[in-house]
Structure 1
Amino acid sequence: MTIFDPSGTLFADDDEVTLVVIFNHSRPGASAPVFVCLPAMGVAASFYAPFAEALAQAAGGAAVLADLRGQGESAALARHGARFGYQEIVAQDIPSLLASIATQFPGRPIYLVGHSLGGQLGSLAAVHSAPGLAGLILVASGTAHYRAWPKALRWRAGVAVQAIRLVAALLPWYPGRLLGFGGDQPRRLMADWSYNACTGRYRCAGSRIDYEEALNDIALPVLSVEIRDDPVAPTGAATELLAKLASCTIERRQIDGVTADAPWRRHFSWARSPDEVVAEITSWVRAQSRRTDVEYLEQAVV
């Protein structure tokens, strides 16, 4: 793992799996939040720089951008023979990242923010890291399950899922950059994705953990920011993902996104024009902070 701030200062250097850029508010308070942001499938972390900068400024804290294994600046590329799946990301990479961030920002509340697949992987990683998190924030995120799509689109989603699953199974790696969906990914990761897309359930190949049961036991505050008419993460997909977090306190909010863009583009373009999402996140985090302060006072009185 390699961790940089925007000026290029090296914080840590380990296995070269993840590049992290930290946007730190100029004068953050001792309890200012830290947001660790996970990108969508096939998207480089650098794409989210406008969002991270705006979030750190608005919240008076820090925002961390992390490339998922095999994406962006990561050296673990599928086309170079890298073999991994969800398990390496959710049980190794993200917990290690969160531990490093906790060391850099001791005592600060850490929120895990995930866009699209980043939200799914962040939820799975919370199985391992929930005690160190102040909350989970999902942006335009839902399961990949084709049956969660609106009925009018369900058959198309089903055909697309089967086609992606077949391509990923037959070729040495999934050529998402060529096909225009998901970026280049190793076969095992796409097998994990396909399992969820076909069944609605999460299974991490190589793990003995029942992630469906483990997700049910996580107890965290969760914010879901959903984009109206998002064809990539429709309302049903978000509902299905949130239903797995049955022990969490969940708040759902909807935004319009960049209405000048086509619906498909809105799934991504909010990150370049992030004001709506930043406003929802900061208002929710401040409410969480006030609630925590009240609970602390009540416990002190008792």
Structure 2
Amino acid sequence: MRNSKIQVPVDGGGVISGTLWEPADNAHATLVIHPATATPERFYAGFAAFLAGNGIAAVTYDYRGTGGSGSPRVHRHLGMRDWMEGDVPAAAAWAAERFPGLPRLAIGHSLGGHALSLGNGTAGLTAFALLASHAGTARAVPDPVERFRVRLLLHVLGPALGAVLGYVPARRLGLGEDIPAAAMRQWGGWARLPRYFFDDPAMRARERAATVTQPVLAIGFTDDPWATPEQVDFLTSHLTAANVERRTYSPADGGVARIGHHGFLRRGVQETLWPEVVTWLSKHAQSAPR
């Protein structure tokens, strides 16, 4: 396995920085990992290396204004919609151009899965997996303490700090990487709505989700404090033209004490859960027309 840094221009301005993870021998498919909000590219390195070790060339990256893809203050105007409609298709197009003729796959983690569910970056995809992607309305968080924390961060602290600083110091708030102010405003706005961005007329989310036709593997976890099985199901219920397979794993399934919203990407489940997902992806890659 070998890896190399990449730079991908985005229509409308800016560049996303990422890494290409390649098998030692010829790849039989290519896959882009579209990240979760405020989750750095390096968090996906272990899983990307595992994919490469199984013959799949993988791309990881940071959204503009996060991690290695530029200052969140400089990119303060970028919202989540900009990431979904700009960065996700740009990364997908780069991988398609770099590996012409190979079956194309994707994994969307949380926000990355939202983008795929609305058809962003799906042109020419053979299949894709959604990882802990859900309709992220704050009122659906089951634990009252966590629900209060989410509302405090998304509706009070985050927007206020963004207005003052031009970015949100999410790292200090325990949310991951720092993000642009506009991304926090949009996140908080959608989280107030009963059906998340499906209640935002500007997104045309129901209409766009209904255009997705690829096979989809939607994965959730019993101990995820945000992406509950019900909210995952609500998101995938809008993929009316797709063949959706649902899987919900418990920590016991992974042989670990906790998985939560991010734990699938940690090496503790490398021997238990990762092979199942790679098998599903490889099966669809092998059945893709050449």
Fold agreement, TM-score > 0.5: yes
User: Which TM-score tier does this pair reach, normalised by the shorter chain?
Assistant: 0.7 to 0.9
Equivalence for 1:68: 63
Unaligned 5+ runs, structure 1: 297-302
Q: Which amino acid aligns with 2:69?
A: S
Q: Which amino acid aligns with 2:101?
A: G
* 1:169 lines up with 2:163 in the alignment: no
Task: Compute the TM-score of the two structures, normalised by the length of structure 2.
Answer: 0.83
* 1:149–1:236 CA contact under 8 A, matched in 2: no
* 1:34 lines up with 2:30 in the alignment: yes
Equivalence for 2:136: 144
* 1:135 lines up with 2:127 in the alignment: yes
The 1-side partners of 2:116 and 2:63 are apart by: 11
Aligned residues: 277
Alignment of 1:43-82 (within 5 A): 43-58=39-54, 60-75=55-70, 77-80=71-74, 82=76
* 2:216–2:242 CA contact under 8 A, matched in 1: yes
The 1-side partners of 2:38 and 2:275 are apart by: 26
1:101 to 70, 95, 100: 95
**CA offsets 1:125-158 (integer angstroms, 9 cap, x no match):** x2x43332112211122221134333xx2x4454
* 1:18 lines up with 2:16 in the alignment: yes
- CA separation of 1:167 and 1:204: change in aligned 2, threshold 3 A: farther
* 1:278 lines up with 2:274 in the alignment: yes
**CA offsets 1:164-220 (integer angstroms, 9 cap, x no match):** 212233232332111112532223212221233222231799x95512321122212
Equivalence for 1:299: none
* 1:123–1:136 CA contact under 8 A, matched in 2: no
* 1:87–1:204 CA contact under 8 A, matched in 2: no
Q: Which amino acid aligns with 1:101?
A: A
| Cα displacement (A) at 1:289 | 4.2
Equivalence for 2:284: 288
Equivalence for 1:237: 231
The 2-side partners of 1:48 and 1:136 are apart by: 16
Equivalence for 1:300: none
Unaligned 5+ runs, structure 2: none
State the percentage of identical aligned residues. Answer: 27
**CA offsets 1:236-291 (integer angstroms, 9 cap, x no match):** 2211211222221101123334654445xx43233231333421222212432465
SS in 1 for 2:123: helix
The 2-side partners of 1:212 and 1:46 are apart by: 32
The 1-side partners of 2:81 and 2:7 are apart by: 26
- CA separation of 1:261 and 1:19: change in aligned 2, threshold 3 A: farther
The 2-side partners of 1:204 and 1:129 are apart by: 22
The 1-side partners of 2:9 and 2:75 are apart by: 22
| Cα displacement (A) at 1:45 | 0.7
Alignment of 1:107-256 (within 5 A): 107-124=101-118, 126=119, 128-150=120-142, 153=143, 155-163=144-152, 164-171=154-161, 172=163, 173-199=167-193, 200-202=195-197, 208-256=202-250
SS in 2 for 1:129: coil
**When you count helix as a share of all residues, which structure comes out higher?**
1
CA RMSD in angstroms comes to 2.8
- CA separation of 1:147 and 1:136: change in aligned 2, threshold 3 A: farther
* 1:79–1:184 CA contact under 8 A, matched in 2: no
SS in 2 for 1:53: helix
* 2:111–2:133 CA contact under 8 A, matched in 1: yes
